[in-house]
Amino acid sequence: MKQQIIISGNGGQGILFVTRLLAEAGLEMGLDVLTSETHGMAMRGGTVISHVKVGAFRSPLIRRGRADTGLFLSDSNVAIHGAFVKPYGRRIVNTDRTGEYEGIDAAACAAQLGSLLATNLVLLGYAVLRKALFCDEAVMRAVIKKASRPRQVDLNLRGFEKGLQL
Amino acid sequence: MGKEMKRRILMGNEAIGRGLVESGCTLVSSYPGTPASEILESVVAFAGETEAPVHIEWSVNEKVAYEVALGHSYTGKRSAVAMKQVGLNVASDPFMRSAYLGVTGGLVVVVADDPGPHSSQTEQDSRFFAQFARIPVFDPSDPAEAKGMVGRAFELSERYEIPVMLRPTTRVCHARQGVSCQTPQTLSREAHFKKDPGRWVATPQFLTDLHRRLNDKIDEIACLKEMYPVRITGDGSAAHCIVSSGVACANTYEILEDMGLLEKVDLFKVDLPYPLNRNFIGAINADYEKILVIEETSPTIEMQMANRAIKGRTSKDVPDYGELTPEVIGKVLETFLNVPGKAEEDVQEVKGVRPSLCAGCPHRAAFYGISTTFPEGIFPSDIGCYTLGMNLGGVDICHCMGACISQGAGLYHAYAADGPDYPTIVVTIGDSTFFHAGIPGLINAVFTGARFIIVILDNSTTAMTGNQPTPQVGLLADGSPGNVVYIPDLVRASGVKFLKECDPYDLESFTVLLKDAGRFCRSDEGGVAVIIAKHPCMMDREAQKDQRCYRVTVTEACTGCRVCIKRFECPALIFDEESKKVFVDQNGCVGCCVCEAVCPVGAIAVQKTGGEE
Ligand code: SF4
Ligand code: SF4
Ligand code: SF4
């Protein structure tokens, strides 16, 4: 099993948390995992990207055009980081529009749950539903329970389940 | 090593922190700076988890951190110091001399480089610095390896009584990987400082001998068999060879794999770029006609190979600046191996959103106040979140930690020499930066009679790097109380005669103070004026709870002039392209209501909604 995933969005959208969840899911499944993330200056609301590589890799970075799947926390990021995804790769996008990708209004779903903070988890759930990720829902559910802060577990799980039901 | 525990996902910096705790290190000091900040934080976490006895401190700056660690090592105990690459510039004084005098207990110096740079003011290569100092340096390519190298570095350090550097880059620091963890080693060493003035005082008469001995150590280390670079691809008979280290080596490997050339190219991985193994240099230069060296960021390995035919950064076959991303290395390899690329179209970089200060950030209010009060002013600033004030016209100069105060003095002396009509100079410096390197500059400015305004942006934290406490907060790295040191006391003790404090949210009072300060500077008895702009960082959730919160909206009166966007740039103020009006994003707005004063037509309306009152 080898899979390369990018997660793109803006600082504050919970990109790092999704990165961690995917890494923990890989570990849970006994796979090698390497990820790369953005910290520091760029996180003050600027555009950020994370790379997740599952399987036998050495470098934490994904080369342009090699990612199997891209998770985009907003549609404007497709123009910025879309080129990382293979021509026939999967682009899972939080959007209220339609485009040449698998779009879903994750923000609206999160708002229904009472917090936009769950947008990332809704999108993650949707990506699992669409089989765009290496892991299944059971693994991810377990990882969310383990990795979430106690006060956030409930919201995170509800966000994830919401994404799974779309 | 202790017994093996299970694998955990660790960030590179956490893996390094874990390695330090497992190595029986009993002191770790650091000053926060991206990409190194999480190292010390993870030492706190892992020492707590394993109950390892480690003194852990956020020192006031990197020079101090280095000296604390050095003193600890003189007693025979293991110590480590962590910083970002420019931190080593600050610590360079003790660093250079520590190579000569050496250490007793192992000393590992973790210096995180930032090729790119992603979050730094230079792209400098600390391996080059290590070579300059004659200190051995390890170059890890992933978190697991970084952790392993901590142990190797301690062993090397104690065997040769020399500090050893571990140089991760941003991509290692901020990578995550499954890393196996052990129970920490307990060394049970008691502090014992053995007096030896010829060594620890080392007046010039002793130094030639110490220098000679340092050279001998480096010569020996350069011949160690265990440091001979390992060939990780090819069978040793290829015509081409590539020598690489760090993340660049990992990327090179993957690209060769992608090209289907793993069997055809000999790739050597260097763990210890300085001193580069002497036998390796001889063998490679003799065995291969075509050699390519891929390393970040300076030609450290390349220059030691001393072979003019080598392709690399010097020959510009590898770009001699910038990060070696997979895309860059891909192109380099295609040319070197003469393999046409997979018709990879050159993707145009699309610019993302630039970072900006958080909604409600007190710095935004301060910069707005400063730039509107002194439209003709000159504004040197410093390193921190507030550097982003450049988007707001509040930052004209940013150089290195603490420089703004001394640069302000230099600017003043230049203008004042031309006549009394000099522009008002207002420098801004964060609280943590002030402790780090602002104080000597302040004393110097007061002493030499400079006249300008210093606004200390006191948000009671080191915000940029993840909110580490400052000495004024009075909390130690592990959260326990320390002895509080107050900024106003330091300012007064430096001889400043004008010192006022104000919450920049209160723009009116802040502006009055700025004007007072400006008059003081130009008065007969005038000099340096200091205003402490005090308001907690928005990341401090506790402080936010105490903050008054208003409901802020934009009314129909909005003309769409965008003044609030251009001059204030609060991320919660959004221009709606359809209605050509601004609206407040209620999810982002923290209700600070500072923007009210910015709109020229009064279209930003404020309504009280609870909070304190
Ligand atoms: S983290 Fe704090 S100091 Fe930095 S921009 Fe946000 S509010 Fe301002
Ligand atoms: S809110 Fe005021 S400053 Fe902003 S665009 Fe409207 S009129 Fe201009
Ligand atoms: S009140 Fe105005 S300045 Fe403050 S956070 Fe809200 S929109 Fe931004």
pLDDT in tens, A121-160: 999 999 999 999 999 999 999 999 999 999 999 999 999 9
In the block, residue with structure tokens 């919660």: B572
User: B8 near B441, Cβ under 8 Å?
Assistant: no
Average the pLDDT over B91-115 and give the result. 98
B569: three-class secondary structure by DSSP: coil
Average the pLDDT over B566-578 and give the result. 93
Does residue A41 belong to any structural domain of this protein?
yes
The pLDDT score that the predictor gives to residue B344 is: 58
The pLDDT score that the predictor gives to residue A1 is: 86
Does residue A87 belong to any structural domain of this protein?
yes
> Which ipTM score applies to this complex?
0.92
Q: How close is the Cα of B457 to the center of ligand 1, in Å?
A: 11
pLDDT tier at B463, thresholds 50, 70, 90 = confident
User: B427 near B453, Cβ under 8 Å?
Assistant: yes
The pLDDT score that the predictor gives to residue B613 is: 36
Beta bridge partners of B502: B533
CATH for A136: 3.40.920.10
The pLDDT score that the predictor gives to residue B611 is: 46
pLDDT in tens, B180-193: 999 999 998 999 99
What's the Cα-to-Cα distance from A54 to each of A1, A99, A103, rounded to whole Å? 7, 28, 24
Asked if residue B3 has pLDDT above 80, the reply is no
Whether B362-543 and B225-336 are alike in CATH topology: the answer is yes
Beta bridge partners of B430: B457
Distance in angstroms (rounded) separating the CA atoms of residues B106 and A143? 39
Higher pLDDT, B350 or B140: B140
Asked if residue B238 has pLDDT above 90, the reply is no
Q: Return the ligand 1 atom nearest residue B357 CA.
A: 5
Query: What type of residue sits at position B457?
Result: L
Which residues on chain B are in Cβ contact (under 8 Å) with A65? 344, 347
Is residue B178 within 8 angstroms of chain A, CB to CB? Answer: yes
Query: What type of residue sits at position A105?
Result: D
C-alpha count within 13 angstroms, C-beta hemisphere, residue B253: 20
Distance in angstroms (rounded) separating the CA atoms of residues B373 and B423? 12
Asked if residue B2 has pLDDT above 80, the reply is no
- Which of B251, B351, B587 has the CB atom closest to A59's CB atom? B251
Percentage of residues in chain B having pLDDT higher than 90: 88
φ, ψ of residue B10 to 5 degrees: the values are -125, 145
The helix (H) or strand (E) run that includes residue B552 is strand B550-554
Structural domain boundaries in chain B? 4-221, 225-336, 362-543, 547-610
Residue of chain A minimizing CA distance to B119: A41
Does residue A166 belong to any structural domain of this protein?
no
The pLDDT score that the predictor gives to residue A47 is: 86
φ, ψ of residue B499 to 5 degrees: the values are -140, 120
Asked if residue B223 has pLDDT above 60, the reply is yes
The pLDDT score that the predictor gives to residue B67 is: 98
Least confident of B72-76, B463-467, B581-585, B600-604: B463-467
Average the pLDDT over B99-112 and give the result. 98
Nearest CA to ligand 3 atom 4: B592
B515: three-class secondary structure by DSSP: helix
pLDDT tier at B348, thresholds 50, 70, 90 = low
Label residue B488 exposed, middle or buried (CB < 10 Å: 0-12, 13-18, 19+): middle
Query: What type of residue sits at position B41?
Result: E
Q: Do B7 and A27 touch (CB under 8 A)?
A: yes
Question: Tokens representing A63?
Answer: 């080369």
Q: How close is the Cα of B604 to the center of ligand 2, in Å?
A: 7
What's the Cα-to-Cα distance from B583 to each of A12, A136, B136, B244, rounded to whole Å? 20, 41, 57, 53
pLDDT in tens, B405-436: 999 999 999 999 999 899 999 999 999 999 99
Which residues on chain B are in Cβ contact (under 8 Å) with A78? none
Q: Do B325 and A61 touch (CB under 8 A)?
A: yes
For the B4-221 domain, the top CATH level (class) is: alpha beta
Residue of chain A minimizing CA distance to B538: A44
CATH of B362-543, one of 1.10.3720.10, 3.30.565.10, 3.40.50.970, 3.40.50.150: 3.40.50.970
pLDDT tier at B548, thresholds 50, 70, 90 = confident
Architecture per CATH, B225-336: 3-Layer(aba) Sandwich (3.40)
Least confident of A11-15, A70-74, A105-109, B543-547: B543-547
Does residue A165 belong to any structural domain of this protein?
no
Which residues on chain B are in Cβ contact (under 8 Å) with A80? 350-352
- Give how far A129 is from chain B: nearest CA, Å: 25
Q: Return the ligand 2 atom nearest residue B598 CA.
A: 3
Asked if residue B253 has pLDDT above 60, the reply is yes
Q: Do B326 and A41 touch (CB under 8 A)?
A: no
Provide the residue range defining the domain that includes A76: 3-160
Which CATH code is given to the segment(s) B547-610? 3.30.70.20
How many domains, chain A?
A: 1
Q: How close is the Cα of B595 to the center of ligand 3, in Å?
A: 6
B370 lines ligand 1 (CB under 6 A): no
Interface A-B: count of C-beta contacts within 8 A: 125
Least confident of B187-191, B452-456, B559-563, B606-610: B606-610
Question: Tokens representing B596?
Answer: 């009210």
Asked if residue B349 has pLDDT above 80, the reply is no
pTM above 0.90, yes or no: yes
Is residue B119 within 8 angstroms of chain A, CB to CB? Answer: yes
φ, ψ of residue B133 to 5 degrees: the values are -85, -15
Distance in angstroms (rounded) separating the CA atoms of residues B357 and B363? 8
pLDDT in tens, A37-96: 987 655 667 788 999 999 999 999 999 999 999 999 999 999 999 999 999 999 999 999
Q: Return the ligand 3 atom nearest residue B573 CA.
A: 7
Distance in angstroms (rounded) separating the CA atoms of residues B142 and B329? 17
Asked if residue B165 has pLDDT above 50, the reply is yes
Asked if residue B500 has pLDDT above 50, the reply is yes
